[in-house]
C-alpha cells in the first residue's frame, strides 16, 4: 500500500532525506525510527503530499503522490505530531469538520462521528470545547480526526508524545484496531518499547539515510552479542581510539570529548581492561554504563545516539 523508492528531499545544501526506500502492505505497521533531525517528519511530509520530493517516487495504493496527488490523498489519514484541532470547537464538531473535508456528508458523516467518538473514549465529552480537554484527550481526538474518513493508509507522526500512560495504552490499541481492519500504518516514535510492541517491520534512519531495515527478529540478528558501553568524562578522542584498538572485540561507535560509545563483546569481563586503557593521557572516566544487546543498543550502534536524544 505504501511504496517509497529512492526518496530524496533537499533544501539547498541540506539533504533531509537521502535515497530512502521501503514498502509496507495492507494490515501492517511499519516503524520509522530515528533521532531528532533524522528525516522522519520530512519523509512523512513527502508521503502525505505536503512536501514535493527532490527526486524519487512515493506511491499510495499505486497512486503517485506527486503525479496523482488527489487520488493518493483521498486514501491517506494523517495524525501529525502537532495537534490539528480547533480548540474553540467541540470534539464532535472537529470530527465533523475533518470528515466533511474528505467529502463525507449527511447521515454517513453523523454516524461515523459518533462511532469515532465512542472508539476514542470521548462520547461523554463530545460537546465540550476542546480547550477544556486534557493533553491525553486532545491526542485521542487528534487520532480520531485522522481516521474519521476511513483511510486505507494512516501516517502517525509521534502520536503518543507527552501523553499520560492511560491515554498511551488507549492510543496504541486504536492503532492495532486500524491494522486489524486492513489499514496500512506508518508509525514514527521516540519510544523504543512502542516500536518493539507495535511494528511488524522497522527502519532505522539518521541524517536522512536508511541504516537498517527488517523485522524485529532480523534487526536483533544485526546486534550480535555485543554490549554497548558508555563512558562519560573528559577524553582525548584520538588517544582513546588508539588505546582501545589494542583490546580485542572492542568497536568505537562514537568518540567525543565528554562521551565514548563502545560496542564490546563480553563487556562485563573486559570493563577493567577498558578503564585501564583509557586512564591517563587518553582521558578521565567519571561514569560508566552498560546496555545488554537489544534493539536500543543496535540503534545506538548505528546512530551513535539513544532514540530519545
Q: What is the pLDDT of residues 96-106, one digit of tens each?
A: 999 999 999 99
Radius of gyration of the chain (CA): 23
Residue 307 has what pLDDT?
Answer: 65
Q: Rounded to an integer, what distance in angstroms lies between the CA atom of residue 140 and that of residue 198?
A: 17
Cβ-based burial of 52 (10 A; exposed 0-12, middle 13-18, buried ≥19): exposed
Q: Is the pLDDT of residue 53 over 90?
A: yes
Model pLDDT, residue 35: 82
List beta partners, residue 14: 11
Question: pLDDT class for 309, splitting at 50, 70, 90?
Answer: low
Give the span between the Cα atoms of 139 and 130, in whole angstroms.
11
Q: How would you classify the pairing of strands 76-79 and 153-157?
A: parallel
Task: Kindly tell me if the per-residue pLDDT of 196 is higher than 90.
Answer: no
List the domains of the chain with CATH numbers.
2-220 (3.40.50.300), 225-292 (3.30.70.1150)
pLDDT at 95: 98
CA distance 280 to 282: 5
Q: Are 55 and 20 in contact (CB under 8 A)?
A: no
Task: Give SS3 for 153.
Answer: strand
pLDDT digits (tens, 9 = 90+) for 127-144: 999 999 999 999 999 999
The answer to whether 116 and 63 have CB atoms below 8 angstroms apart is: no
**Residue 112's pLDDT band (boundaries 50, 70, 90)?**
very high
Say how far apart CA 276 and CA 217 lie, in whole Å.
36
The yes-or-no verdict on residue 297 having pLDDT over 80 is: no
In the structure grid, which three cell numbers stand for residue 204, read together? Answer: 532505522
Amino acid at each position: 500500500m505504501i511504496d517509497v523508492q529512492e526518496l530524496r528531499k533537499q533544501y539547498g545544501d541540506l539533504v533531509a532525506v537521502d535515497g530512502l526506500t521501503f514498502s509496507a502492505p495492507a494490515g501492517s505497521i511499519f516503524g520509522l525510527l530515528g533521532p531528532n533531525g533524522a528525516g522522519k517528519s520530512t519523509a512523512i511530509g513527502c508521503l502525505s503530499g505536503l512536501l514535493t520530493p527532490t527526486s524519487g517516487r512515493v506511491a499510495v495504493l499505486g497512486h503517485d503522490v506527486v503525479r496523482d496527488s488527489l487520488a493518493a490523498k483521498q486514501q491517506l489519514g494523517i495524525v501529525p505530531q502537532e495537534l490539528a484541532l480547533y480548540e474553540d470547537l467541540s470534539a464532535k464538531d472537529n470530527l465533523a469538520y475533518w470528515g466533511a473535508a474528505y467529502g463525507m456528508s449527511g447521515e454517513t458523516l453523523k454516524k461515523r462521528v459518533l462511532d469515532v467518538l465512542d472508539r476514542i473514549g470521548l462520547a461523554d465529552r463530545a460537546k465540550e470545547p476542546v480547550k477544556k480537554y486534557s493533553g491525553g484527550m486532545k491526542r485521542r481526538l487528534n487520532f480520531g480526526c485522522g481516521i474519521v474518513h476511513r483511510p486505507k493508509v494512516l501516517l502517525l507522526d509521534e502520536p503518543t508524545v507527552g501523553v499520560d500512560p492511560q491515554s498511551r495504552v488507549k492510543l496504541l490499541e486504536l492503532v492495532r484496531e486500524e491494522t486489524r481492519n486492513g489499514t496500512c500504518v506508518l508509525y514514527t516514535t521516540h519510544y523504543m518499547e512502542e516500536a518493539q510492541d507495535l511494528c511488524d517491520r522497522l527502519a532505522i534512519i539518521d541524517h536522512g539515510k536508511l541504516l537498517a531495515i527488517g523485522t524485529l527478529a532480523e534487526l536483533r540478528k544485526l546486534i550480535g552479542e555485543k554490549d554497548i558501553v558508555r563512558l562519560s568524562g573528559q577524553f582525548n578522542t584520538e588517544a582513546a581510539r588508539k588505546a582501545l584498538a589494542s583490546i580485542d572485540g572492542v568497536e568505537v561507535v562514537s568518540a567525543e570529548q565528554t562521551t565514548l560509545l563502545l560496542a564490546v563483546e563480553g563487556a562485563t569481563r573486559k570493563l577493567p581492561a577498558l578503564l585501564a586503557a583509557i586512564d591517563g593521557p587518553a582521558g578521565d572516566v567519571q561514569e560508566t554504563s552498560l546496555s545488554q544487546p537489544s534493539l536500543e543498543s543496535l540503534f545506538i550502534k548505528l546512530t551513535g545516539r539513544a532514540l530519545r536524544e
